[in-house]
Amino acid sequence: MAQVHPTAVVHPGARLHETVEVGPYSVIGPQVTIGAGSRVGPHVVIEGRTTLGARNRIFQFASVGADPQDLKYAGEDTELVLGDDNLVREFVTLHKGTVGGGGATRIGNGNLFMANSHVAHDCVVGNGCRIGNGSALAGHVTMEDHVIISGLAAVHQFTRLGKHAFISGGAMVTMDIPPYATAQGDRAELVGLNTVGLERSGFTKEQVERIKEAHRILFRSKLGLQEALARLRTELGGNPEVDHLIDFVMQSKRGLTR
């Protein structure tokens, strides 16, 4: 049996692995599934059709799986899915999806959600991301792998954040942030590359140089977007890090932060 504190309220329909720990005064609803080795602190509420993978840690006063803050939501059966090894700190709110957004909010593995951060309905968060204190993702945001958002930043709905991007504190992000970039300000603008993050993630010097050249062609060559993309394919295509950047740009619907 899971280790459940006597003051916690766990619905009989909830499915908890035998190694799960639940702290005092926490409430876990009937449609919740929690995987092996996960730890739920005191005064946590996990509700809705919510699935947590293995070794997640939910700190006190977090709210996981609550109804979305979308006035169109009318009680439909939607869900929140978390992978493995996520840290959800104090007062974090993670909301389930809506029918209009595909029915699910999906979070990958190894992410850190710092205190008071928020992930809204229908967001997709990759692996190894960091969301700083007081930062918020509006609905339908896509956050690729290894993105870092500093404190008190906000991301507009339907915006995409490319992998290994770095968002500075207090930034207001209203358009897509391309992979590997650093952005800051209100409204956020590109201010360079996240070279420190790339090096820490194991990118080689040659890969970083190719990314620098790709960003120079896209954002500093004064070429039109389609012309710049054609030049990228010709000069740097075939390298995975550049091909991902090209694909990200081509799929942009809100437009790119410049």
Task: Name the residue with tokens 């005092």.
Answer: 24
**Dihedral angle over CA of 60, 151, 143, 183, nearest 10:** -170
Is 122 noted as a catalytic residue in this protein? yes
Is 145 noted as a catalytic residue in this protein? no
DSSP string of the chain? --EE-TT-EE-TT-EE-TT-EE-TT-EE-TTEEE-TT-EE-TT-EE-SEEEE-SS-EE-TT-EEEEPPS-TT--S---EEEE-SS-EE-TT-EEE---GGGTSEEEE-SS-EE-TT-EE-TT-EE-SS-EE-TT-EE-TT-EE-TT-EE-TT-EE-TT-EE-TT-EE-TT-EE-SBBPTTEEEETBTTEEEEE-HHHHHHTT--HHHHHHHHHHHHHHHTS---HHHHHHHHHHHHTT-HHHHHHHHHHHT-SS-B--
- Pairing relationship of beta strands 189-193 and 181-184 according to DSSP bridges: antiparallel
Is 77 noted as a catalytic residue in this protein? no
Q: Which of 35, 48, 122, 140 is catalytic?
A: 122
Q: Which of 83, 139, 162, 197 is catalytic?
A: 139
Q: Which of 118, 121, 146, 244 is catalytic?
A: 121
**Tokens in use for 13?**
């329909």
**What positions carry a catalytic annotation?**
121-122, 139
